Each structure stands twice: as C-alpha cells, then as structure tokens.
Amino acid sequence: MVVRLDDAKPVLSPLFDQLWDCVTSAIADYHKLPADERLRHTRRTRSSLINDYMVDNAKKAFASRHPAITFPTIRGRTFMMIGNEFRVAFKKLDSRKCTRNIPTQQALAFVNQLQVPGLSMTNVVVGYQWNLLQTAAKGVFIACPVGQRNEWDIEIKAPIVKPVARIPDYLERSEPEVKVKPKLGAGEGIAQGVQNDE
C-alpha cells in the first residue's frame, strides 16, 4: 500500500535538508574529478558514480545519527530504509520526475510497489534533474513511483541558512579609552617643550 502524501510529509520533511545536501554534494564531487577522466565516462557511468556518491553521503549523514535508518544491500543495490515505512532508492530523474531503469525484475518490482516478503513499505526515489548544461541539479525531489508515473512527488528546496544574529553596535563597541593628562605644575611645561601663552 502506497503512503499518501499527507502522511509521508511528516516522516520525510525532517530529512529534507540532509537529503538535499546528499544529492547536490554527490554531483559536486563528481565534477571535482579531472576533466579528462570525466570525458571518458558514458552517461550511464556518470549516473552510476553519482548514485554511489549519493548513497555514501546518505550513510554518512544518517547511519550513525538515526537508529531507525538503515542501509541494506539487496541483490547488489543499496537502499535507505526509513523505519518500516519507506524504502529509498537514489536515482537520476527525467523531465517527468520518473526514473529510467533497465527493466530488471528488481527495478520493475520497485517502481510497481511490489513488496519485499516480510516488509510493507512504500518505495520512493530521492533524485535530481539536471540543469540545461548538466553541471548541477535543476531540482531535487522525492518521488513515489507507481508504474510509469508518480503517485506524488515533493521538491526538496535548498536549506534556508539562518542568518547569524548580529551583535548590536552598542554591545560591539568597547568603552572609549579615557586618557588623563596630568596637570602640569609651574615650570614643567617649559621643561617638556610645551609653550604656555600666559
């Protein structure tokens, strides 16, 4: 049974900022590879490497901090399990926010929401759409596939960085340093080279 969007949001939204970072950092890491090496990659190789980076980033972000999130590998493919509710795959998305897969039995079972024996979870994809130049993500999404379409999808926006609280000027300034000049006695001013008009 596919979880409705209204029920999915409360579970998934606390993970949005970290998921956005997992995806966008993976793309950035790919573009850090030497240009001559990237030129040798097919689109499939590029997608596969970015996928590996996304999974690795997710493990680093969630595995030790969220006991309910695990990363089992099933038939050579690593998923992120969120409790007993969601099984997450990381993928590149097309213009319809759908995945393009080699139609293996496992891939078809995932997009058609066929359940793994002993589990009752909704399958979702965390993925990205390329910008026009394919240099960065145009968008990052969580999509819930049902066959050739999505039951629902959510765009994950870039985290809002809260501005650092500015210290008010009056707290930032230190007290002005008071310089006290000793009053010169008779004859001292001349001795120190100070002219007295009186």
- Say what the pLDDT of residue 17 is: 94
Is residue 72 situated within a structural domain? yes
Let me know if residue 21 belongs to a domain: yes
Confidence at residue 23, expressed as pLDDT on a 0 to 100 scale: 97
The single residue listed with the structure tokens 């596939």 is 145
Query: Which residues of the chain, if any, have pLDDT below 50?
Result: 170-174, 189-198
Residue 186 included in any domain: no
Is 70 domain-assigned? yes
Burial of 160 (0-12, 13-18, 19+ CB in 10 A): exposed
pLDDT of residue 173: 47
* 170 found inside a domain: no
Give the separation between CA 177 and CA 98, rounded to whole angstroms.
67
Residue 10 lies in a domain: yes
Task: Identify the domain containing residue 17 by its residue range.
Answer: 5-156
Spatial CB neighbours of 115, under 8 Å, sequence gap ≥ 6: 121
Entry field: residues in the chain: 198
Residue 19 domain flag: yes
Per the domain annotation, does 22 fall within a domain?
Answer: yes
The pTM for the full model equals 0.77
Q: State the total domains in the chain.
A: 1
